[in-house]
Structure 1
């Protein structure tokens, strides 16, 4: 969640140097590693126009393949919220705004369908106006209109189309319970959502009861993807065949097996600031495990030479990749927006000293080694990811990456508290549970292990009375700001409705969230970072374990694939296939 709200003149939002993402400009050695990252909003209309800058060495033609183990949960743009669907969705659906990035470390918000990031009409973040570019077309050649964008937002209010982000919907009605009254355009509902008006074919306006300074960032999600009402039909129909506004369209989709994309000939690159359509086809093959994906692309035989692995290289194959000079050049790697946390249920572990003892005792290095070592991530000490605007590194409990059991024992004062640890009942989950149990036992905790089925894990650990004291989750920011990290995790006023991982409700946190949420992005970035540190020092509700890293392979004929700091996964809109 992010913060933005100013006069969009030339707005530089938190040009903070961050650690960062991978890059790939298309050469065989360009799937590289760290670079400095800056985040900004670019209100220069010229930078929202197309065509996108050519990728060095790129050629048109060929078929790009991608391997992933599970099918897409959703392809309907208003339902997309998972990284694999986001990567493919960028080829099928456009939104009001988007991020211009090439893996070099610079993440810049620009207009996608819109001529720019948006106009803050009254300079108070309550009224945002967008004008669509001329010449925008769907896959059948029909024009994309402002009414279609408004209808896309409208359908995101439906209880049947509720898997995507809810920011814009909540802001429009001024409530977390965004569809209590308006439930979308189905069953006689209005085609326009509350607070949205359309002026002609190319302009629409959002009116919010409270400041919504992050609207330009939220506009980059599929919530604002255009959907013509005539192509919508049933609420779930677009999950298998979204009506394309991007450079590719669906030729064939066999669920559980394959998704085959071909060019959308009506997409005009002159309107698009980020995308290319170099491959003739982009084919996602479904079913290969992480081991199978890496083994196939390591060999790079036949079509596997033109293939991208969606899964990270598993721990057992990492040494093989690192010993192979050719394979190392084909790794796409970098820090993602996700952070792994050990959550502490503060309603069960009520003693601050006990929670601080957990902080000092925890063995981050051991937990990370079980996950795959340095290729899986970097030890964390902050709630925010290093990719967040205004990120500030600190260590509230400096026990080192392996922990400080002596300091933890001192805090416990001879007590031996019992902790119930929930973990996913998988081979990896069991390994990591052993690390957690042993590291906390060194300090005097008695840790009881409770396995939870992987399919229901996140649901179970979010229940208030599930009986778990500690458990691990990951959280990824929806755009690089503390506003999509701190409020959803630590706003105690929302936890009864939305569940919680820490069950912490404190007036000082809630008041700070309200104050910072009304600030411009330029100010809010640093203030979210300050609140991050305050929460950790004052309440110790989580142990940040590691900042996650992507570490996946591409075939030796693949160019242009890079790790997106927005998606947190490899993206394809610069990709090409070498002859």
Structure 2
């Protein structure tokens, strides 16, 4: 049985692509496995060997899967990608956020080469990269790994970017004609889309992509050795081509220990320093408990780091203590909270009303209710700090505290009688109730009469139902990019061709439909230079905010803490703002 969580859950999945052109429109849901499977540990050392050089990582979990074609949770992807799963490209480690967003070769010698159409990408594998049994990682291993994503259970549980982007015909219902390597159909179509020439692998895409080299940094494009494929029985099996391998079986309630892979060659790996002798992954520990243990700094917790963000109340405890603050990091996290005005609502179809709503929005009050600036920071854009397209200025010129007077003037220009009644739906939690109440106070000062609609269960399913956009004026929402470009934010949320249908609004909760925006999304997708494309996305993002297609609220932040014997603690915003195990070390 699989337990699926909404995007707003603390350990939510990467957004995935619906089987349409380019956009990401549905959340990849976290699948919580209830059984463990066997694992391989060729030449593995004993789990308790080298404790002095062992790093402990503390996480609530659960890890749904360590299979690269089944992983969806960003935290798990970030851990696996620095320890045992190598991909064609990767985002580099280091403290420079601008450098982190660049993509470099990992298994491949460089970041790949597209043809002039941006529909054919070629990568050349490095020499000297091996699996933990000493056998080389080959182009055919890459092909085989990608092919698994089309077969069950991977097609249902994992990220579906190969389905979305590879030039393989689809059926009328949007599913692929190719059904994977286990005796399925349309093998010839896959063989044409993904080809090998020695150590060169070539991907043929169904649409131009200037950022495809960032897509292949995700584990769904990772290689798999055919002879080690356990299929559905390999949920937590690990066969490593990185610096660590799993010693002994993975316990889905307590975790496991990763020891050094003796076949890993540092000379073939430009990304991972792999300083700890081993990594003990402790699963099933509540965040507040993990943080307190690391704060206490006793025993092996001196060499421990939290993988889940500290609760807001504990964040202030850490940051107000100089010694603890030096052992912590407070990076931007993956999610941005925002509002989606409903264009199916008679009130919100009025541009002056949408402008008044944005001008009256008290982002400072919202952030304070969330737990303060260590938990979130006010923002006027959906594009996070890891993106080259990010802007800092509000196109409407409103302060982060809102401007009720200017908002009231805009509301009066709407021609409607004040107070203007609006209903606002949001996903209800004790913290969210306070945050939305703070927003409501600011809106009422501007001349709105606000009715809040708290929804406790299945929020995104409920608000995307047919007809819901006509019954609610404003929807709260959040979003996280799959990789650090605006192509994973703007198209999935605002391209009406990919969201709006008789079955609902998809993730375009406000039913925003604008032919000019759709046309501009198509144009930007074909721009060949990344810098030029980033500038175009930034301009379109500002235009969407000006039109009132969305009102950004807050960029979420995380706080992680390490023990006194931990060195090199950093986060990587290109990987979702999680702890970067490529640089971390222990005494």
Give the TM-score band, short-chain normalised. 0.7 to 0.9
Counterpart pick for 1:342 among 339, 342, 346:
339
Would the alpha carbon gap of residues 167 and 516 (structure 1) be closer, same or farther in structure 2, given more than 3 Å must change?
farther
Q: Mind listing any 5+ residue stretches in structure 1 that lack a counterpart?
A: 2-58
Tell me what 2:521 maps to.
Answer: 513
Moved more, 409-418 or 246-255: 409-418
Would the alpha carbon gap of residues 156 and 417 (structure 1) be closer, same or farther in structure 2, given more than 3 Å must change?
farther
Tell me what 2:559 maps to.
Answer: 551
TM-score w.r.t. structure 1 length?
Answer: 0.83
Would the alpha carbon gap of residues 183 and 351 (structure 1) be closer, same or farther in structure 2, given more than 3 Å must change?
farther
Tell me what 1:32 maps to.
Answer: none
Partners of 2:473 and 2:153 in 1: how far apart? 33
Would the alpha carbon gap of residues 126 and 563 (structure 1) be closer, same or farther in structure 2, given more than 3 Å must change?
same
Partners of 1:293 and 1:175 in 2: how far apart? 48
Would the alpha carbon gap of residues 191 and 132 (structure 1) be closer, same or farther in structure 2, given more than 3 Å must change?
farther
Cα contact 2:169–2:189 (8 A) shared by 1: no
Partners of 1:158 and 1:417 in 2: how far apart? 52
Q: Mind listing any 5+ residue stretches in structure 2 that lack a counterpart?
A: 1-13, 15-49
Secondary structure, in 3 states, of the residue corresponding to 1:297?
Answer: helix
Determine if the alignment matches structure 1 residue 215 to structure 2 residue 212: yes
Cα drift, residue 554 of structure 1:
1.1
Determine if the alignment matches structure 1 residue 453 to structure 2 residue 456: yes
Determine if the alignment matches structure 1 residue 301 to structure 2 residue 292: no
Cα drift, residue 446 of structure 1:
3.0
Would the alpha carbon gap of residues 573 and 409 (structure 1) be closer, same or farther in structure 2, given more than 3 Å must change?
same
Determine if the alignment matches structure 1 residue 146 to structure 2 residue 139: yes
Cα drift, residue 436 of structure 1:
2.7
What do the CA deviations read for 1:23-51 (whole angstroms, capped 9, x no partner)?
A: xxxxxxxxxxxxxxxxxxxxxxxxxxxxx
Tell me what 1:239 maps to.
Answer: 235
Tell me what 2:489 maps to.
Answer: 485
Tell me what 2:64 maps to.
Answer: 73
Determine if the alignment matches structure 1 residue 133 to structure 2 residue 105: no
Tell me what 2:148 maps to.
Answer: 155
Cα drift, residue 365 of structure 1:
0.5
Partners of 1:387 and 1:267 in 2: how far apart? 30
Partners of 2:255 and 2:473 in 1: how far apart? 41
TM-score w.r.t. structure 2 length?
Answer: 0.82
**Cα-Cα RMSD:** 2.5
Counterpart pick for 1:278 among 253, 275, 288:
275
Tell me what 1:14 maps to.
Answer: none
Cα contact 1:150–1:193 (8 A) shared by 2: no
Tell me what 2:258 maps to.
Answer: 261
Would the alpha carbon gap of residues 338 and 62 (structure 1) be closer, same or farther in structure 2, given more than 3 Å must change?
same
Would the alpha carbon gap of residues 297 and 60 (structure 1) be closer, same or farther in structure 2, given more than 3 Å must change?
closer
Work out the number of aligned pairs and report it.
517
Secondary structure, in 3 states, of the residue corresponding to 2:450?
Answer: strand
Partners of 1:187 and 1:199 in 2: how far apart? 20
Would the alpha carbon gap of residues 304 and 460 (structure 1) be closer, same or farther in structure 2, given more than 3 Å must change?
farther
Cα drift, residue 220 of structure 1:
0.9
Moved more, 187-196 or 248-257: 187-196
Cα drift, residue 545 of structure 1:
1.0
Tell me what 1:205 maps to.
Answer: 202
Matches within 5 A, 1:47-86: 62-86=53-77
Partners of 1:484 and 1:465 in 2: how far apart? 26
Tell me what 1:435 maps to.
Answer: 438
Cα contact 1:138–1:243 (8 A) shared by 2: yes
Would the alpha carbon gap of residues 318 and 333 (structure 1) be closer, same or farther in structure 2, given more than 3 Å must change?
closer
Cα contact 2:336–2:554 (8 A) shared by 1: yes
Cα contact 2:492–2:507 (8 A) shared by 1: no
Partners of 2:191 and 2:392 in 1: how far apart? 41
Cα contact 2:145–2:223 (8 A) shared by 1: yes
Cα contact 1:276–1:573 (8 A) shared by 2: yes
Matches within 5 A, 1:33-112: 62-90=53-81, 91-105=83-97, 106-107=99-100, 108-112=102-106
Determine if the alignment matches structure 1 residue 172 to structure 2 residue 181: no
